[in-house]
Amino acid sequence: MEMDVVYQKSAGLEDVEFHYCPGCTHGIIHKLIAEVLVELDLIGDTIGVAPVGCAVFAYDYFTCDMHEAAHGRAPAVATGIKRALPDKTVFTYQGDGDLAAIGTAEIVHAAMRGEKITTIFVNNTNYGMTGGQMAPTTLIGQKVTTAPLGRSKEHYGSPIKVSEMLATIEGAAYIERVSVHNMAGIIRAKKAIKKAFQLQQEGAGFTLIEVLSTCPTNWGLTPNDALNWLQDNMIPVFPLGVYRDITAEDK
């Protein structure tokens, strides 16, 4: 019986091993981006900007050109690349410690200027690479190494909601929050990433897809339990959905 290959590692990813912990959903998000860039035939014309954090080696994993940025400054670097090479597709890949803490000014102002870049924002509610410290996105009550009794609202405030915040900015063309905790979520996340890159092609403005992600190692859970923890604890605080879509307003 003849058989067709229906799924294999994307041509948008290098044939190298990922350094990520077992079950970390960074790997799923990487391949969604790679698959979308291949499907849109953009992989040869794309420049990605890697962050500081767990995804710092992202430049080794994608087959497109990649650049590294100082902590939180990926949107500023991407701005320069896109303005110098406006025909290229430019994206940043940033975690919550990178984008929502040290890089908050860069992301807000890149959105305000309506930079025609796409940001993939990976939210796993902690600083993963450095050992699970509290991030601005850490949930109330969530135990992290720098808040061993759990984040208290009184001391540290409430988690920052990046998609909701950026959706108030006029320069933003498309903002959606997705999750990769199950098959339906993975399919939805891929569609969202595809839409963001298509809108960038059309010159619509700034696009950001926030992807809820797991951190099994620092959460102290097995990878499958971490997916369930994400569903039960993160989604109620960070509801999934489209937060801004200027193409919908046109209709």
Partner 1 sequence: MKGKVEFRSDWCKGCELCIPVCPVDIIFIDESVTNSKGYHPATVSEMEKCIGCANCGRICPDSIITVWREKRVKKAEK
The answer to whether 127 contacts partner 1 (rule: CB under 8 A) is: no
The answer to whether residue 193 forms part of the interface with partner 1 (CB under 8 A) is no
Distance of CA 176 to the CA centre of its chain: 11
User: If binding is defined by CB under 8 A, does position 22 make contact with partner 1?
Assistant: yes
Whole-angstrom distance, CA of residue 27 vs CA of residue 154: 35
Nearest one of 6, 96, 11, 21 to 51, comparing CA atoms: 96
Q: Which stretch binds partner 1 (CB under 8 A): 38-46, 81-89, 115-123, 178-186?
A: 178-186
> Is residue 184 within the footprint of partner 1 (CB under 8 A)?
no
Question: Smallest distance from the beta carbon of 180 to partner 1, in angstroms?
Answer: 8
The reply to whether 31 sits near partner 1 by the rule CB under 8 A is: yes
- Residue 186 binds partner 1, judged by CB under 8 A: yes
Whose tokens are 């951190």? That residue is: 215
**Is the Cβ of residue 14 or residue 164 nearer to partner 1 in the bound state?**
14
CA 42 to chain centre: 19
- Find the angle CA(76)-CA(185)-CA(9) to the nearest 5 degrees: 75
Q: Which of 70, 58, 181 lies closest to 120 in space, CA to CA?
A: 58
Choosing from 41, 148, 155, 183, the residue that interacts with partner 1 (CB under 8 A) is: 183
- Complex with partner 1: residue 147 or 221, whichever CB lies closer: 221
Half-sphere exposure of 157 (CA within 13 A, CB side): 6
**Of the ranges 14-22, 83-91, 198-206, 231-239, which one interacts with partner 1 (CB under 8 A)?**
14-22
Report residue 124: phi and psi, to 5°.
-125, 20
Residue span 207-236 as binding mask against partner 1, x where in contact by CB under 8 A, dash where not: ---------x-----xxx--x---------
CA pair distance 71, 204, nearest whole angstrom: 27
Q: Which parts of this chain interact with partner 1 (CB under 8 A)? A: 1-10, 13, 17-18, 20-28, 31, 182-183, 186, 216, 222-224, 227
